[in-house]
Amino acid sequence: MKAMVLYDREKPFRLEERPDPHPGPGEAVMRVRAAGVGLTLVNMRLGRMGGSLPRVMGHELAGEIVETGEGVTAISAGDRCAVYFYLTCGRCRWCRGGRETLCENFAGYVGGHRDGGFAEYVCLPAENFLPIPEGLSDEAAAVAADAVNTNWHCMRERARIGPDDAILLIGAGGGVGVHGVQVAKLFGARVIAADVSDEKLDLARRWGAEETINVRAVDDVAEEARRLTGGRGVDAAVDYVGHGETFTAAIDSLATSGRAVVIGVGTGEARFDPTVLVRTERIVTGSRHSTRAETIETMEMMARGAVEPVIGMRVPFTEVETIFDALKSETLLGRGALTYP
């Protein structure tokens, strides 16, 4: 099979011919039909999420199962599946309790700690393949499995938003953020989108944001969010960027009892005053990806058209480098997508 292999974190992927994988016990092999590409992969490529080289990256995947290993009964050849990103144990208290992204025996990420899908085939534990519902395209299923399900978990379980809420999304024009706008609208919230360019803010507005903040055009994002809510502040703020500075703005923008949730993995430390938390019962927390159940729910919602994939760029998987370039220059609008032969 053809595969794009990373040997050096500073150098381009190498297109290689590799033997087709065959599943061991408990595993399955999928022919990859679609992949999504976003900022997580930039972090992963730099080694910020661990893992070793050489590596075939790519975790936001969908395709068709071609072979299953010994003992696999839940899926079979011919099934269309999306890939679950995390390698979890299935046995610890968090896995059994339906919060498997907190797994005590976490074994890492597809495409970081184990070869992923920037290749024609991917071999993974059978539990990492989730059947795609009728009516959902491969590309939409791939995007569901990271760019959308992350928002479903965040909005429902962590930000806990409702129809009476105003929510600030920092990085709303990015690949995860623009789907966050749509998911927040499902809960009926009023969305204030913040991002670094007018192009990204236009995109967020097109998908439902009522108000926008260009972070490069204002002195203080939190103050602007406060102004847009009549001085009250927002009921929830989600930070897709995750720098100390952006998350501090998220916390400072909150109304009484507001929730600040960080999703992005950036650098630096956020600041907050503990006495303000006491006085206002603000909640400062994080949101970690999505469970399998939430991923299935996400695909079902998307199959009904409740959330649509927003693809800003589409290239053959052998040209994935061009999407990384667009991500680095902050010019990609929405998600990048890969096509396969």
State the residues that interact with Zn ion by CB under 5 A: 88-89, 92, 95, 103
DSSP-H helix ranges across 2-124? 39-45, 93-96
Residue 73: how many CB atoms within 10 A of its CB? 7
Cα(212)–Cα(224) distance, integer angstroms = 10
CB of 88 to Zn ion, least distance (A): 5
CB closer to Zn ion, 211 vs 294: 294
CB of 239 to Zn ion, least distance (A): 27
Residue 227: how many CB atoms within 10 A of its CB? 13
Pairing of strands 166-170, 234-239: parallel
CB closer to Zn ion, 90 vs 188: 90
Side chain identity at 261, as an amino acid letter?
V
CB closer to Zn ion, 49 vs 92: 92
CB of 312 to Zn ion, least distance (A): 35
- Token pair for 262: 């960080």
CB of 291 to Zn ion, least distance (A): 11
The dihedrals phi and psi of 293, each to the nearest 5 degrees, come to -60, -40
CB of 222 to Zn ion, least distance (A): 37
- Token pair for 340: 């396969």
CB closer to Zn ion, 88 vs 246: 88
Is residue 187 within 8 A of residue 290, CB to CB? The reply is no
Is residue 244 within 8 A of residue 219, CB to CB? The reply is no
- Cis peptide before 54, with omega less than 30 degrees from 0? yes
Pairing of strands 60-68, 2-5: unpaired
CB of 103 to Zn ion, least distance (A): 3
CB closer to Zn ion, 103 vs 201: 103
CB closer to Zn ion, 112 vs 264: 112
Cα(28)–Cα(64) distance, integer angstroms = 10
The dihedrals phi and psi of 317, each to the nearest 5 degrees, come to -60, -25
CB closer to Zn ion, 88 vs 229: 88
Cα(67)–Cα(21) distance, integer angstroms = 10
CB of 131 to Zn ion, least distance (A): 22
Sequence-separated (6 or more) residues with CB below 8 Å from residue 253: 168, 221, 222, 225, 226, 233, 234, 237, 260
CB of 333 to Zn ion, least distance (A): 36
Cα(254)–Cα(237) distance, integer angstroms = 7
CB closer to Zn ion, 88 vs 151: 88
CB closer to Zn ion, 89 vs 196: 89
CB of 269 to Zn ion, least distance (A): 29
